[in-house]
């Protein structure tokens, strides 16, 4: 491995703004994982060395993630848990109210005194300034009580982040979780986040598997003797993002974490950078502005 890229490993963490909380550089996503499949996937991920699970109220599996962490034998402090609130699908739960957000945190973090979630995010910006203002104020109150160690946002564009400066007591948000992979790089947004110290998390770093047969990606993978998925995870890491790959398959869960024994050289990174298609390349275009 050359010295051009700082050495990365599965235990690497980044410090989040406004706190002494550190976030693991690699996470495990649980979107669309249900019941025993979710339990098995989380246990496998934790056994493989992941220490970061990304959940959301919308996924309806927070209690399963919580149970898997308890069953894993790991101490709670050693597993970084994220949940998200305020999605349109769950707005009927009145998530701008403190009690409802506390319930969301408890579902994944626990219900006992002193239980917490490591990161609490607004899932989507929603349709109005007032909605974002109210919801962020509620997250700030939850944070002040120690129930959420850090707070941030997801799917926020540059205009939403700038708008937050008008009302946020805590700015910048610790994290902005957005769709990122070679075909959807959101360069202006990533640059804005980076320049203001906002940690960028990459959901769907494998582009939901839809581009794994891409010829350019395949050539880079063959060059390194790795799978296309491993190259995509490594690409995210070398871009400075926090990738959140998701899988229900034992082999793929482990494969996606086995990305610390090779390095993409500048030529590889440039070839993957050239695949950018903007919003047309997004798997969730409604969330890409």
Q: What is the pLDDT of residues 259-289, one digit of tens each?
A: 999 999 999 999 999 999 999 999 999 999 7
Which 8-state DSSP code applies to residue 261? S
* Beta partners for residue 108, in sequence order: none
H/E element holding 219? Answer: helix 215-224
Provide the pLDDT for residue 91.
45
> pLDDT at residue 236 above 70?
yes
Q: Given 31, 50, 59, 203, which residue is catalytic?
A: 59
Q: How confident is the model at residue 113 (pLDDT cuts 50, 70, 90)?
A: confident
Res 90: pLDDT:
52
Q: Could you read off the pLDDT of 56-108 as tens digits, one per residue?
A: 999 999 999 999 999 999 999 999 999 999 876 554 444 445 678 999 999 99
How far apart, in whole angstroms, are the C-alpha atoms of residue 163 and residue 193? Answer: 14
Could you tell me what percent of the chain has a pLDDT over 70? 94
- pLDDT tens for 129-144 read 999 999 999 999 999 9
Distance of CA 142 to the CA centre of its chain: 20
157/186 Cα distance (integer angstroms): 9
Catalytic residue flag (residue 192): no
Position 255 pLDDT exceeds 60 = yes
Predicted confidence at residue 142, as pLDDT, reads: 95
Task: Quote the mean pLDDT of the chain.
Answer: 93
Whole-number Cα distances in Å, 272 to 77, 184, 192, 224: 36, 11, 21, 14
Q: In angstroms, rounded to a whole number, what is the distance separating the alpha carbons of residues 232 and 226?
A: 10
23-61 pLDDT, tens digit per residue, is 999 999 999 999 999 999 999 999 999 999 999 999 999
Query: What Cα–Cα distance (Å) separates residue 274 from each residue in 182, 244, 267, 270?
Result: 8, 22, 11, 6
């Amino acid at each position: 491995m050359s010295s051009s890229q700082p050495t990365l490993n599965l235990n690497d963490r980044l410090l989040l703004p406004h706190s002494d909380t550190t976030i693991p550089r690699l996470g495990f996503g649980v979107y669309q994982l249900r019941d025993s499949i979710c339990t098995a996937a989380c246990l496998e991920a934790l056994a493989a060395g992941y220490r970061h699970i990304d959940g959301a109220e919308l996924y309806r599996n927070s209690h399963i993630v919580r149970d898997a962490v308890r069953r894993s034998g790991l101490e709670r402090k050693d597993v970084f848990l994220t949940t998200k609130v305020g999605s349109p699908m769950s707005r009927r739960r009145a998530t701008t109210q403190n009690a409802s957000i506390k319930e969301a945190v408890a579902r994944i973090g626990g219900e006992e005194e002193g239980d917490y979630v490591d990161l609490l995010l607004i899932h989507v910006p929603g349709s109005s300034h007032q909605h974002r203002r109210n919801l962020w104020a509620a997250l700030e109150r939850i944070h002040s009580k120690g129930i959420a160690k850090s707070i941030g946002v997801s799917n926020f564009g540059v205009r939403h982040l700038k708008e937050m400066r008008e009302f946020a007591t805590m700015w910048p948000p610790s994290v902005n979780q957005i769709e990122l992979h070679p075909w959807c790089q959101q360069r202006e947004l990533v640059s804005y986040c980076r320049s203001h110290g906002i940690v960028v998390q990459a959901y769907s770093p494998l582009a939901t598997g839809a581009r794994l047969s891409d010829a350019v990606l395949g050539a880079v993978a063959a060059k390194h003797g790795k799978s296309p998925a491993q190259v995509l995870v490594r690409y995210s890491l070398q871009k400075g993002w926090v990738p959140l790959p998701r899988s229900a398959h034992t082999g793929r869960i482990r494969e996606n974490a086995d990305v610390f024994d090779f390095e993409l050289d500048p030529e590889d990174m440039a070839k993957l950078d050239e695949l950018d298609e903007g919003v047309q390349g997004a798997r969730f275009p409604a969330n890409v502005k």
